[in-house]
Structure 1
């Protein structure tokens, strides 16, 4: 595997190609610890292992520098945004997972396999569902979902696990939950035997770390669980490698998903120094080792997002596990790989996001392992309970209507159908990720062009048909060749006489800056900023930014990327508005942004994505708006193109759940009293029960 890293991304060493994989040039091998000769009792930590430097007796090969990496922006605040370590609180960040596509031969036709399995962007967070609700489940593969104690945030982790459970029972009749405060080692060990898919959310305790070294890794690279069934959510007992290796036997070809753990994908805990690439690589290799020894053939670590899409794709696609990992919505395209030292014969892959502590995605496993090897599910079949509905027409024209197709591409085309032929420009973005389309939506609101979606290597039939109808004056590609290939660019030329251009940077932050630079002159009245690591704030913010002719730029939770800083310096905005809570963009970033304007920086936020979207609407819209848009807050595809339409029509975009209208959204709709409400997406993402409530908010 040849590394694909943007120029200048790696700071502590170069990545050199080594067929068939790559290793960090000059980096020492990942240290192999001593094998444990016996199982020792795991110590109990009321909160965390002791802080402090590594013990003096740590072998030289393992006493690695934990100095801040030069990966990303020097001098910016450090710390991981969304993982949980022995002393790091978890943060609920991402919920979305993109559908994985299987491309069919043909220049203008694409048939996403996932679209057969679920409506575009479908995610049904219904913890009360049982497997019996899905009698047509495809597989008896055993799925075990574990939530360890993470103090005050345990309830958030249980909620995330319930959403994963709701996804899993669509496809398997054998899904088991073991949650804190009942997630003791005895309970977890009993359920893990013979498991095909394991999902663990909880504290991560990996190595290398600032804590004392244990050559047996007795408490490292495993689970943080309840000490007893009566110890509650605040006491964590760590069960490390010896427990996993010696007492667990997973099913052949099992996959382990480690979600929201620090260390597992290479990151440090919040508040601790960012790792060098060498340290991050060792953490990834070490954390996977015991699970592979216990029978797994792949260990995926996702530090900041949710894994619902991975669970869905394990049962509904036929692809390698590495490709499944690559096709998730938050794939950064900064991939590197190296042969595992801890687990000979396996390969480790990492996908850093470009920030100093940005090691949040990894997989260690067998490159040829396929999804059907894991679950045995026939990827061409779907459970009857989730057969996608046909496109839904307006319920009551002039009041509540729905724009939807059978998948994200058809939904985007349905939204674009509201534009008259001869539009000055049409924007094209990947349907597998959100940043390019959302920052482009703000620009589309200024130029009057729709946003349509493609895959990397093909133009879906619905997109092609809509482009043929629109006959745009020109076409603009949002994003680099890694997300929309040059072959697709060439194919798009037949739909316009004005040429096809590309706006792209080396990552999502630089692409957003490039879109801004191509659209806005210096001296804008306002610039909007949102996190680039999750979609909801940018989704609601794009509608406002586009309606006001203002750019939307992206930051991380802890840093202002160089491309964003440079574009703000060029724009010289009179003021800056930051969307989102401090959990998504820190106060330190807000303070840094103050240097880019003389008019001050304000924050618009609620307590969650739904109330933040309502706050964004309230800050920008007076009562009596002509139209308001409603989209799911749990996935992004249906609203990608809708954000551009909302910007063009100067309508707010509010977020709901599939089955409910959050109080903040209801209150804002009650204040707005719009003349019309438009639902973006099918009933699988915004349910009929939600639709039935909306007419009561229509103004007179």
Structure 2
């Protein structure tokens, strides 16, 4: 049964890569049965977006087929290929991409990138300081991507990255970066659409997983996701208010975002559980309450070493549960399906759903 298979969802070595689709070209009227992605154009955007210039909409991910037992596996031979497989699923037509570091020490730079990427009808792809990996390059060339937004400083994506992208046919590049992770987060939010609701998470290394669980809902709802510093929360609060935010969902408990950091935020309300898996479930419930479908769910790895898969999956815009080899993870999964029933589950990276 589908449900018992989900009960056995676990972290395993990355499965064989999902077969990639053929290249797509942008169209004014994407095909039925797929999401339609229309870029939100901003005068502040530092790259030239062909879709904004031409008024183009793009074909996005396939819509659920109505089968309550639908499972989609998106994985590749490594994290770079997994991100490319996610991009092929969610962004089979794209003129623009967002490039972030796929190296663990720099993942934090891109935690606020998912809402901006989705607003641009763009996938999040992974690079390194000194290279554009083969899977990333293949996606860019297959889709003739014309513009790439780099997220993070030169230590994350080196100074030669723009030259490497131009060699792949990219004609417009720009970098979004700040002096630290919090300033980078605010710079990304400043480019995203205005919204009355926002999401906030800790920027501390031990709690980054909370931001990953919030990224899909924030992206689908076109709402900002911002990192807040316990010791200096006022810039985050000001950045949210500058984008029109009047209420805030705070991902995680006081051990992540301290009460003194929560206080200045616009009308903050926590979504938190006893551990990262329960917190992700609380965020998913919050996203359903705010309009996301409960029967189109993402499973992402919730353990260190595999969190990057959730980073690349954020722009898909799905309610997200984290999976790990602990009872609390399985209990959350079972409780979700007891409450909401089953539908499409998309498992990314090191998460593989058993038979």
TM-score bucket (shorter structure)? 0.7 to 0.9
Task: Report SS of the residue matched to 1:529.
Answer: strand
Does 2:236 match 1:567? no
Instruction: Give 1:632 shift.
Output: 1.4
Match of 2:259 in 1: 587
Partner of 2:6: none
Q: Secondary structure at the match of 2:138?
A: helix
Q: Return the TM-score normalized by structure 2.
A: 0.75
Structure 1 unaligned segments of length 5 or more: list them.
1-122, 125-385, 694-700
Matched, 1:627 2:299: no
Structure 1 residues 658 and 518: CA distance shift in structure 2, 3 A: same
Distance 1:628 1:485 in 2: 35
Cα distance in 2 for residues equivalent to 1:416 and 1:517: 24
Could you say if the C-alpha distance between residues 420 and 538 of structure 1 is closer, same or farther in structure 2, counting changes exceeding 3 Å? closer
Gaps of 5+ in 2: 1-9, 21-64
Whole-Å separation in 1 of the counterparts to 2:146 and 2:19: 29
Partner of 2:273: 606
Give, in angstroms, the shift of residue 555 of structure 1: 1.3
* 1:17-75 CA distance string (max 9 Å, x none): xxxxxxxxxxxxxxxxxxxxxxxxxxxxxxxxxxxxxxxxxxxxxxxxxxxxxxxxxxx
CA separation in 2, counterparts of 1:602 and 1:545?
15
Instruction: Give 1 or 2 for the bigger CA radius of gyration.
Output: 1
Aligned residues: 291
Among 344, 348, 351, the residue aligned to 1:680: 348
Equivalent runs, 1:406-485 vs 2, <5 Å: 406-420=77-91, 422-432=93-103, 433-485=106-158
* Secondary structure of 1:443 counterpart: helix
Cα pair 2:295 2:340 within 8 Å, conserved? no
Tell me, in whole angstroms, the C-alpha distance in 1 between the residues paired with 2:92 and 2:336: 34
Q: Give the stretch that moved more between structures: 400-409 or 452-461.
A: 400-409
Equivalent residue runs for 1:139-538 within 5 Å: 390-391=16-17, 399-420=70-91, 422-432=93-103, 433-496=106-169, 498-521=171-194, 524-533=195-204, 534-538=207-211
| 1:580–1:604 contact (8 Å) kept in structure 2 | yes
- Give the structure with the higher percent helix: 2
Separation (CA, whole Å) in 2 of partners of 1:414 and 1:503? 24
Any idea what the Cα deviations from partners look like across 1:612-645, whole Å, max 9, x if unmatched? 1100111121696452110111131222111112
Residue deviations 1:532-561, cap 9 Å, x none?
A: 113211011111111111111101344416
How much has 1:424 moved relative to structure 2?
3.9
CA contact (8 A) 2:177 2:184 kept: yes
Q: 1:662 and 1:559 mapped to 2: Cα distance?
A: 36
Match of 2:226 among 535, 549, 553: 553
Cα deviation, 1:196-215, whole Å, max 9, x if unaligned, reads xxxxxxxxxxxxxxxxxxxx
1:592 Cα offset (Å):
2.3
Per-residue Cα deviation, 1:93-141 (whole angstroms, up to 9, x for no partner): xxxxxxxxxxxxxxxxxxxxxxxxxxxxxx97xxxxxxxxxxxxxxxxx
Shift of 1:430: 0.1
Q: Per-residue deviation at 1:674? A: 4.2
Shift of residue 399, structure 1, vs aligned partner: 1.0
For residue 543 of structure 1, give the secondary structure of its aligned residue in structure 2: helix
Deviations 1:395-427 (A, max 9, x none): x99611211112110110111112455414200
- Closer, same or farther: CA 679–493 of 1 in aligned 2, 3 Å: same
Q: Is the 8 A contact 2:148 2:170 kept in 1?
A: no
Q: Does 1:541 align with 2:226?
A: no
Question: 1: distance between equivalents of 2:191 and 2:275?
Answer: 32
| Higher relative contact order (Cα pairs below 8 Å, separated by 6+ residues) | 2
Contact 1:421 1:469 in 2 (8 A): no
1:387/1:422 Cα in 2 relative to 1: closer, same or farther (>3 Å)?
Answer: closer
